[in-house]
Chain A
């Protein structure tokens, strides 16, 4: 079994699976159970200012999106940062860290945007022996209305300012947690780097209303007849998170900034995908809130097996392997041609590929009287919709090699050509060619 030992900003953990700052990490009781279950690290649920504790709603604080058999696909919450007294959290952090020195313990923080507040809390955390801090610039509800969380994360200048204070007043490694509720994730990441952040973690939750109660005509979760947007997370947000992680990993300005990947990580495979796109480790929340802490056993065994299969001896070998493959649309090879191929022996003749192609795509899958479906290569643009809707995964895409005939265009497949070189691009290098008949 491959060794999963992980080091992130010098913080060691036996595996790259951390629990994200969230309800599962709010108390000593939970965190001890997490470590016992095998989690490599924990980001303690966000601590706030000393003083009167935060007050949470006492009605439902979660809402969900379900798939078949109520598989939980997306979770939304309107919970705030920890509502327990600061000194209780600090005492518990110290106690847990003392008992589990080999596990990572990072403390999430969110205090008002003044230097004194940050200076104070950093001193308190440093005394616990915690391994580092994560700055919560992402929480999208409640705290943002008070000028914290996402209200900071949405303004790069604030990110830079607060990060600088933190680095100035603490020797601890500093991770800046980013909100996805912005237009370009590269900007806050660059700001964090300018402020001196040691790493970024992303994504925090996405502004969301999960559903509407159609009797009350009110958003859910509903608090006394009213609702508010919450933060969305879980498997449904993974594609958004993967893209944002990749954007930072391939941005020349931030490509060396370590990333902790967050967003719908549920299995070893999800973790491996985040890591391939540049995350050094991952943080998990919704998956344990759905299944409990034991899922880490599958993640550990799964990633080890995968690494053995690939011949990796350290998780760091996996990190970033897919980053060079992420590019802009304009650099994709427009001459690359594939065609759908249906494995008839595995087809159960449900006809969904036919009807979706017929109704919504290119009328490229015929269905015979006996329900046999066949690809019409002369119409197939290789959109992949049939592959995506097939219940038995019996459709694949076959590459047509350069020089072989494309039945749709009636021309042989050409050598690689991207948009910047394409004759149809009025501003491209190939524009002049458009005047002459292409050969």
Chain B
């Protein structure tokens, strides 16, 4: 049954059933074979290419594009995946406009970079659609490694270790592996169950056992893992969220919870959404929540950010994406209280200004009526084992991913360094695996 877009409150089915599929379709549709050849032809095969330098996982971009241009997208995929086993997902979710494509010399020349992200997707899709897993395991070793967290960092680490011949057990707190790829990113960035398929494809390497619904601290300790395995990699991401500390905070929902529910919904028409949605925050999570609420049929969806718009952590591309999907962005307003009134919620904000680099709160207040309020004001490290050094709310690691504890490595969002991107997590998992391997083999 369809309810109207204008029905007050938080209700499911605001759109006709057949519209959900269209609303959540691929935000950047894949290139056709012809379009891929045209796009690949634009690459100049730069020396010491800036795109590769800009890539956190050091993918040899000019080489893989040349391989597409010469008719071997599958070989291109191997070039990509040998550096970044999540090359398929990164092709979909990477902020390419600030990484490879932002560095492309054709961005400088014409303001139109080579479509590296779409080309990467073209190549990896070709290989993965065939079910081909191009990597194999080295001769088995006697070592086993525990990986905590089945997100991009943990699985990239596990895959590389399995390739080296080690046995890997991945412990994950959720019911499905994939981490934020499965539970976090916006649905329209990886439709068609891609996150799930990619993990299944990755596990084809063999030698990796995934234990689901197993949380560090709840189901076992770091000591337990160290006893059972020869090394441990921690890649459990950020389990907690920052909470609002204002009157009425209990009326707000963490955006990450809502996004996870959306990602796992069998039928999006059953997911309730407010007529008027307010998202407090200014990062990618805020954009993902606000845009998806709009796509689910919210009449209005508003992002309210406490600082100025140029200071928003969400990239310009993400901001554009939000605004072209009808999301209103209100900068310079910090939440003061959420009031429950007849007919819904009212979120009260104080206007802010930035003076001398510092945010000051002004006397002026504005109020937004809302049916649903989300918070997207940052995620936090959950409970961590004792003995780890925590710096800036993250597990401190060195360049090889080593923590202060012997035989314990960490990477991804839970660890220092990186920008909390899938691509960074994947690269950190890979590099930690190389270091663990060197350690185990006594190098």
Q: How far is the CB of A353 from chain B (nearest CB, A)?
A: 9
B108 close to chain A: CB less than 8 A: yes
* B108 contacts across to A, CB distance below 8 A: 348-349
CA of A261 to CA of B53 in the docked complex: distance in angstroms? Answer: 49
Of the candidates B45, B47, B109, the one whose C-beta lies within 8 Å of that of A392 is B109
CA of A392 to CA of B105 in the docked complex: distance in angstroms? Answer: 10
Q: How far is the CB of A334 from chain B (nearest CB, A)?
A: 32
* B47 contacts across to A, CB distance below 8 A: 350-352, 354-355, 367
B46 close to chain A: CB less than 8 A: yes
Nearest to A389 among chain B residues (CB) is B44
- Chain B residues 96 to 128 lying within 8 A of chain A, measured CB to CB, are 105-106, 108-109
Of the candidates A69, A349, A350, A371, the one whose C-beta lies within 8 Å of that of B41 is A69
* A252 contacts across to B, CB distance below 8 A: none
Q: How far is the CB of B67 from chain A (nearest CB, A)?
A: 16
- Chain B interface size band reads 10 to 19
B342 close to chain A: CB less than 8 A: no
* A367 contacts across to B, CB distance below 8 A: 47-48
* A349 contacts across to B, CB distance below 8 A: 50, 105, 108
A51 close to chain B: CB less than 8 A: no
B38 close to chain A: CB less than 8 A: yes
* B48 contacts across to A, CB distance below 8 A: 351, 355, 367, 371
Nearest to B34 among chain A residues (CB) is A70
CA of A69 to CA of B46 in the docked complex: distance in angstroms? Answer: 19
Q: How far is the CB of B44 from chain A (nearest CB, A)?
A: 5
* A351, B46: Cβ atoms closer than 8 Å: yes
Q: Which of B45, B47, B109 has the most chain A CB atoms closer than 10 A to its own CB?
A: B47
B42 close to chain A: CB less than 8 A: yes
* B42 contacts across to A, CB distance below 8 A: 68
Contact with B along A380-394 (1 / 0, CB 8 A): 000000000001100
CA of A355 to CA of B47 in the docked complex: distance in angstroms? Answer: 6
CA of A371 to CA of B104 in the docked complex: distance in angstroms? Answer: 13
CA of A70 to CA of B34 in the docked complex: distance in angstroms? Answer: 10
* A352, B45: Cβ atoms closer than 8 Å: yes
Q: How far is the CB of A210 from chain B (nearest CB, A)?
A: 16
* B38, A352: Cβ atoms closer than 8 Å: no
CA of A392 to CA of B46 in the docked complex: distance in angstroms? Answer: 13
* B41 contacts across to A, CB distance below 8 A: 68-69
Contact with B along A342-358 (1 / 0, CB 8 A): 00000011111011000
Contact with B along A192-236 (1 / 0, CB 8 A): 000000000000000000000000000000000000000000000
* A348, B105: Cβ atoms closer than 8 Å: yes
Known A348-B106, A350-B105: A391·B44 in contact at CB below 8 Å: yes
Known A350-B46, A350-B47, A352-B47: A391·B38 in contact at CB below 8 Å: no
CA of A350 to CA of B109 in the docked complex: distance in angstroms? Answer: 10
- Chain A interface size band reads 10 to 19
CA of A69 to CA of B50 in the docked complex: distance in angstroms? Answer: 24
Q: Which of B38, B45, B109 has the most chain A CB atoms closer than 10 A to its own CB?
A: B109
* A68 contacts across to B, CB distance below 8 A: 38, 41-42
* B37 contacts across to A, CB distance below 8 A: 69-70
- Chain B residues 398 to 441 lying within 8 A of chain A, measured CB to CB, are none
CA of A349 to CA of B51 in the docked complex: distance in angstroms? Answer: 12
CA of A307 to CA of B45 in the docked complex: distance in angstroms? Answer: 39
Contact with A along B14-51 (1 / 0, CB 8 A): 00000000000000000000000110011011111110
Q: How far is the CB of A388 from chain B (nearest CB, A)?
A: 14
Nearest to A392 among chain B residues (CB) is B109
- Chain A residues 29 to 78 lying within 8 A of chain B, measured CB to CB, are 68-70
* B105 contacts across to A, CB distance below 8 A: 348-350, 391
Nearest to B41 among chain A residues (CB) is A68
Contact with A along B268-291 (1 / 0, CB 8 A): 000000000000000000000000
- Chain A residues 320 to 371 lying within 8 A of chain B, measured CB to CB, are 348-352, 354-355, 367, 371
* A392 contacts across to B, CB distance below 8 A: 109
* A348, B109: Cβ atoms closer than 8 Å: yes
Nearest to B53 among chain A residues (CB) is A371
Nearest to B38 among chain A residues (CB) is A69
Nearest to A359 among chain B residues (CB) is B47
CA of A348 to CA of B41 in the docked complex: distance in angstroms? Answer: 17
CA of A70 to CA of B33 in the docked complex: distance in angstroms? Answer: 13
- Chain B residues 54 to 104 lying within 8 A of chain A, measured CB to CB, are none
Q: How far is the CB of A220 from chain B (nearest CB, A)?
A: 15
CA of A265 to CA of B42 in the docked complex: distance in angstroms? Answer: 25
CA of A355 to CA of B46 in the docked complex: distance in angstroms? Answer: 9
Of the candidates B46, B106, B109, the one whose C-beta lies within 8 Å of that of A352 is B46
CA of A351 to CA of B48 in the docked complex: distance in angstroms? Answer: 7
Contact with B along A396-409 (1 / 0, CB 8 A): 00000000000000
Q: Which of A70, A348, A367, A371 has the most chain B CB atoms closer than 10 A to its own CB?
A: A348
Nearest to B45 among chain A residues (CB) is A352
Of the candidates B44, B45, B50, B109, the one whose C-beta lies within 8 Å of that of A371 is B50
Q: How far is the CB of A71 from chain B (nearest CB, A)?
A: 9
CA of A391 to CA of B41 in the docked complex: distance in angstroms? Answer: 13
* B109, A391: Cβ atoms closer than 8 Å: yes
* A350 contacts across to B, CB distance below 8 A: 44, 46-47, 105
CA of A369 to CA of B339 in the docked complex: distance in angstroms? Answer: 56
CA of A355 to CA of B48 in the docked complex: distance in angstroms? Answer: 9
Nearest to B42 among chain A residues (CB) is A68
* A354 contacts across to B, CB distance below 8 A: 47
Q: Which of A69, A70, A350, A352 has the most chain B CB atoms closer than 10 A to its own CB?
A: A350
Q: How far is the CB of A66 from chain B (nearest CB, A)?
A: 10
- Chain A residues 284 to 322 lying within 8 A of chain B, measured CB to CB, are none
* A391 contacts across to B, CB distance below 8 A: 44, 105, 109
CA of A392 to CA of B109 in the docked complex: distance in angstroms? Answer: 8
Q: How far is the CB of B50 from chain A (nearest CB, A)?
A: 7
Nearest to B69 among chain A residues (CB) is A68
Q: How far is the CB of B66 from chain A (nearest CB, A)?
A: 12
* B50 contacts across to A, CB distance below 8 A: 349, 371
Q: List 30 A-B contacts (CB under 8 A).
A: A68-B41, A68-B42, A69-B37, A69-B38, A69-B41, A348-B106, A348-B108, A348-B109, A349-B50, A349-B105, A349-B108, A350-B44, A350-B47, A350-B105, A351-B46, A351-B47, A351-B48, A351-B49, A352-B45, A352-B46, A352-B47, A354-B47, A355-B47, A355-B48, A367-B47, A367-B48, A371-B48, A371-B50, A391-B109, A392-B109
Given contacts A351-B49, A352-B45, A354-B47, 5 further A-B contacts (CB under 8 A): A348-B108, A355-B47, A371-B50, A391-B44, A391-B105
List the 3 closest pairs (A to B, CB-CB), nearest first: A351-B47, A68-B41, A355-B47
